[in-house]
Amino acid sequence: METYPKTAARMHRGTEFLGCETAILCGAMSWVSERNLVAAISNAGGFGVIACGAMTPELLDTEIAATKALTSKPFGVNLITMHPALFDLIAVCRKHGVTHVVLAGGIPPKGSVEAIKAEDSGIKVICFAPTVALAKKLLRSGADALVIEGMEAGGHIGPVSTSVLAQEILPALAEEHLIFVAGGIGRGEAIASYLEMGAAGVQLGTRFACATESIAHPDFKKAFFRASAREAVASVQVDPRLPVIPVRALKNKGTEEFTAKQREVAALLDAGDVDMLEAQLQIEHFWAGALRRAVIEGDVENGSVMAGQSVGMVTKEEPAADIIAELMAQCEAALAR
C-alpha cells in the first residue's frame, strides 16, 4: 500500500474495518467465490468473501476450513437471508471465528444479526441497503457497515443505478458510517470518485470472475471476454404476484428458460400447490442450478452466465493480485490529478 498513499488515506476506515490492506471486497458470486478465489484476493491484500449461496451448513463448514488452509488473512462469508438453514450457517461462521458476515438477498430476519453477534463474538455484520431509509434502519438494527449496490451489477440486482445510490446515500451517511459502493465498477478512476464522495471502499464481482485463480470453466471465462456491456441484461418478471428479484446475466437460451420457469411456478402458485416462500425458493434453486451449469460445466448457452455491465472491461485472464494492483494504480493516479 506504500505506493498508493492517497488511496490508502481515503480507504483507511475501510481497511481498518476489514483488517486488510486494500478496501476492495470481492462480491460473493455463487460457485465462483469459493476457497481458491477468496484466498487469492485476501492474500493479494483485498477482502475475499465466500458465497455460501445454497450450501448446506456441512458444505460451508468444509469451505471455510479449506479457505483457512489457503490464507491466514481475513475473509468474509456471504449468507442469503432467505436460506432455510440461516441460523445453522451463522453457527458454522461463529465456530470458525469468521471475522465478517455479509447478509444478502433481503432484510435480515428477526434475530439473525443478534445471533451473529451473540456472546460478544466480535463478528462484524455487513448488509446491503437499496435506499436511505432502509440503510438507516439496518444501521439501527446492528449492521456495522453497508454495501450500496447499483443495478449495473451482475447477479441479483435492485432498480437504481450505482451513481444515483451513491449520490443519495453517501452524503447522508458516509461521514458517520462505513459505506462500500458496488455495481458496474471496472476501473480505478471510478473507485477514486466514490472514495472522494465518502465511501470507505468498494466491492467488485465481475472484474474478478475471470481471475486466474477463479475455478470458472474456460468457456464461462471466454463468454466474459467476448461480451460487451449491453449483452449483460436483467431478467424480466413475468407475474406481479411472484416478486422475483431481477438477475443480470449474459443474454442466452438460459435467459428464456428462466421466463418459462417463472410461468411454471406462477401456475403452481395459482393452483395452491405452493406458498409464496416455496415459490421463491424454487426460483432461487433454478438460479443456483443454472449458474452451476455455466460456471462449473461451461454450458454458457443454457446456463446462467451472471455478469455485471462492467463485463466489457474484462478482456483477459489475470491473477487477482494483478487486478487489484491495476485498480489501485488507476485510483491513485486519479486522486493525484
Q: What residues in the chain have per-residue pLDDT under 70?
A: 1-2
Whole-number pLDDT of residue 192? 98
CB 63 within 8 A of CB 50: yes
Enter the C-alpha cell of residue 184. Answer: 458496474
Q: What is the pLDDT of residue 276?
A: 87
CA angle 100, 195, 319 (to 5 degrees): 65
Tell me, what amino acid is at 93?
A: C
pLDDT at 311: 98
Nearest to 26 by CA among 333, 330, 321: 321
Provide the pLDDT for residue 242: 79
What is the per-residue pLDDT for 2? 62
Going by CATH, does the domain composed of 5-216+315-336 fall within 3.40.50.20?
Answer: no
Predicted confidence at residue 297, as pLDDT, reads 98
As annotated, the residues of the chain forming the CATH 3.20.20.70 domain(s) are 5-216+315-336
Which residues neighbour 43 within 8 Å (Cβ) at sequence distance 6 or greater?
70, 71, 73, 321
Whole-number Å distance between alpha carbons of 136 and 78: 21
